[in-house]
Amino acid sequence: MTDQQEKQQALRFFRQLVRVRIFEERVSELFVQGGTAGSMLHLSIGEEAGAVGVMGAMREGDGFTTHHRGHGIFLARGADPKKMMAEIAGKSTGYCRGKGGSMHIADRGLGHLGANAIVGGGISHVVGAGLTYQMKHHGNAAVAFFGDGAMQQGVLYESMNLSALWKLPVMFVCVNNEYGMGTRLDHASASLEFEKRAETFGLLAAEVDGIDVFEVYNQSKNLLEDVRKGNPAFLKVNSYRFHGHARMDKSPYRDQQEEEEGRKKDAIAFLRDRIVKSGWYQETECDAIVEEVKQEMDEALNHARNAADPGADEMYEDVFDPQTTKPFPVDSRIRESLHLPQA
Ligand SMILES: Cc1ncc(C[n+]2csc(CCOP(=O)(O)OP(=O)(O)O)c2C)c(N)n1
Ligand SMILES: [Mg+2]
C-alpha cells in the first residue's frame, strides 16, 4: 500500500468509526426520550473497530448475521442511518417497516441475514448461507458476529464443526467486550484461549486488538482469502464496552478505575492520533469530518422522529409468509390487547 492509499484508507476508516459512534449516541438520545420501539437498546460504543475493520474486508455479495449489539456492524456494511434509526423507532420507513427493531434488523440487499436477540442465535444461519454459496459457487463468504457470551453456547461448536467438515466459506467473529451482561468473561468461561477451541475444530484462528482498525482489517482480509477457498475461520476482536450492557444499565459491577482504563481502548482516538502524526490530516480537518457526521446522524434522528408509524391494518404484512393462512385466533387476541376493533 502506498502512503497515499494508506491515507485514503485511514480517512475512510476514521469516518466510518465516527459514524458508528455518533449513530449510537443519537439512537441513545432517541431511547431516553422514549422514541424507540422495545424496552432495550444495546450500544456498540467502544467496539467500532470490529465492525468497521471486518466489514472493510468483506465484499459485495457476502452475507452476515449479528447479535443484539449490531447497529455498528450494519452501519459499517453500508446501511442507511435514516432507515436504521427509523427501524429502531418502529417506524414504517425502517428497514423492516418498523417490525424488526434494534435487535431484529435484516436486509437481504446488503446481505444482512438478520440480527438476533438470542445469544448465539444467528451463528448457525451462516452455516446455511455458506453452504448455499459453496453449492452455487458464488465465491462469497458468510460471517457471523457475536459476543464473548456466545463462546459458551453449544450452537457455536456445532456450527464450527459443520463448517470445517464441509469446508464452508464461513467466518466466525467474536466481538469480545469482556462482559456478558454483568458477568465478567473469566467468571463465565474456564478457558479464555478461544482461538485454540476454534483450531481444535479445524478452523483457522486469530486474535486482534480492537483498538486498531487497520489490524482488524488486515487480519480479516487475510482470513477471508482462505475462507473463500473453503477454510472456515474464527476471529476474536478484543475491545471494551464503554457503557452498560443496555442503555439503562449503569454497570455497578465494574469499578471506576476499570472503566477509565477500558475506555482508553478507543479506536477513534487511536486512529486520529495516527492520522495527525502521519501528517495526513490536521486536527481541524478531523474535526470537520466529525461535524459532517454529526449532521448526517442528526438528520437520521429527525427522520426517525417524524416518520409515520406502521398502520394497524399492516399488522401482519411482512411478518408471515404470504402463503400462510391468516392467524385468526392470534389476530383477535392482539386486537383485543391493542384495543382495536375486531376484524
Ligand atoms: C440464550 C440466551 N441466554 C440469555 C440471554 C440474555 N442475554 C441477553 S444479552 C446477554 C449477554 C450476552 O453477552 P455477549 O454475548 O458477550 O454480548 P454483549 O452483550 O457483551 O455484546 C444475555 C445473557 C439471551 N438473550 N439469550
Ligand atoms: Mg460480551
Span 15-66, pLDDT tens digits: 999 999 999 999 999 999 999 998 899 999 999 999 999 999 999 999 999 9
- Indicate which atom in ligand 1 lies nearest the CA of residue 149: 15
What is the model's pLDDT at position 337?
83
To test the pocket of ligand 1, the residue of 42, 68, 174, 251 to mutate (highest count of ligand atoms within 8 Å of its CB) is: 68
Ligand 1 atom closest to the Cα of residue 245 is 19
All domains of the chain in start order, with CATH: 3-310 (3.40.50.970)
pLDDT of residue 207: 98
Output the pLDDT for position 38: 84
Cβ(181) – ligand 1 distance below 6 Å: yes
pLDDT at 316: 79
Q: How many angstroms from the chain centroid is the CA of residue 258?
A: 24
CA gap 65, 61 in Å, rounded: 13
Question: What does the block give as the cell for 181?
Answer: 451482561
What is the whole-number distance in angstroms between the Cα of residue 21 and the centre of ligand 2? 18
Best of 44, 45, 69, 119 for a ligand 1 pocket test (most atoms within 8 Å of beta carbon): 119
Please compute, for residue 194, the number of CA atoms within 13 A of its CA located in the half-sphere on the CB side. Answer: 29
Q: Whose CA is nearest to atom 20 of ligand 1?
A: 180
Stretches where the chain sits below pLDDT 70 are: 326-329
Is 243 close to ligand 1, i.e. is its CB under 6 Å away? no
CA of 220 from ligand 2 middle (Å) equals: 20
Report which ligand 1 atom has the smallest distance to the Cα of 181. 11
pLDDT of residue 100: 93
Q: Beta-strand (E) ranges in 34-141?
A: 63-66, 112-115
For the whole model, what pTM was predicted? 0.95
CA angle (9 as vertex; 288, 209 as ends), nearest 5: 100
**Ligand number with the minimum distance to the CA of 151:** 1
Amino acid, single-letter form, for residue 163: S
